[in-house]
Structure 1
């Protein structure tokens, strides 16, 4: 059985929307896009590289997968993150995509996210990681399919934007297994489900 680890950047008030660029995700009139860029430093880079050092497959919701194609797909810049992203098998969960041919090594999982991911998780293969894809994470968390979280907790509040958990999340307990604070005040906390 595979495990599923989520890596998510989040503000103190739980916002996960539009971390990387001003135009990344403007749904709902969100105007704070790019809020995470000023918090990047060498410590964060090293910590994120740890997660990419071990081979694994990736799992995406449609919106994040399409956004990542723009950011990572087809690049050959020598960046280890680019190499990892392009080499990994990428499963994209979608009811609307017709195919996953736009990015190498991508496989489309059609149908209900919980059912298709539960089947994928139960089968043989490498562990799965999710970066972003908050809607997918909420669904999988509610179904008890998330095993670990790596949360990059940024020292700011935004007041608006999509949150990691909107509405009640089911009672699930996690143990803190590791934490590191960056030079910019981001707490990188790793949690494993009990």
Structure 2
């Protein structure tokens, strides 16, 4: 059986929307996009590199996969994240996407997210990493399918924006297995479902 890890950049008030770029996710009139960039440093790069050192497949929701396709799919730079993202097998969960041909090594998982991901998780293969894809993480969390979380907790509040857990989330115990603080005050906390 595969493990599923969700890696999420999050603010102190739980916002996960648009950490990468101003235009990344403006749904609901969100104007704070790009909030995470100023907190990148060597420590964060090293910690994310550790996560990439073990081969994993990737799991995306439709919206995040489409965004990442335009950002990473055509890049050829020497950034190790580029090589990792393009080489990895990428599963995209969607009820509306017709195919996953826009980004190499992508496989479409059609239908109900929890059902298709539960089948994938039960099979053989590399563990699965979710980056972003908050609505997918919420659905999989509610179904008990997320095994570990890597939260990059940024030292700011935004007041508005989509939160990791909007509405009720099931009671779930988590155990802190590792934490590192970056030079810019981001706490990278790794939790395992207990």
1:74 Cα offset (Å): 2.2
TM-score (norm 1): 0.99
SS at match of 1:9: strand
User: Runs of 5+ in structure 1 lacking a partner?
Assistant: none
1:79 Cα offset (Å): 1.0
Q: CA RMSD in A?
A: 0.5
1:78 Cα offset (Å): 1.3
1:29 aligns with 2:49: no
1:67 aligns with 2:67: yes
1:18-75 Cα shifts (integer Å, max 9, x gaps)? 1011110000000000000110000000000000011110000000001101111121
1:5 aligns with 2:5: yes
Partner Cα distance (1:82, 1:146) in 2: 25
> Which residue of structure 1 aligns with residue 100 of structure 2?
100
SS at match of 2:91: strand
TM-score (norm 2): 0.99
1:119 aligns with 2:122: no
1:182 aligns with 2:182: yes
> Which residue of structure 1 aligns with residue 83 of structure 2?
83
Partner Cα distance (1:23, 1:53) in 2: 30
1:58 aligns with 2:58: yes
> Which residue of structure 1 aligns with residue 170 of structure 2?
170
How many residue pairs were aligned? Answer: 194
> Which residue of structure 1 aligns with residue 136 of structure 2?
136
User: Runs of 5+ in structure 2 lacking a partner?
Assistant: none
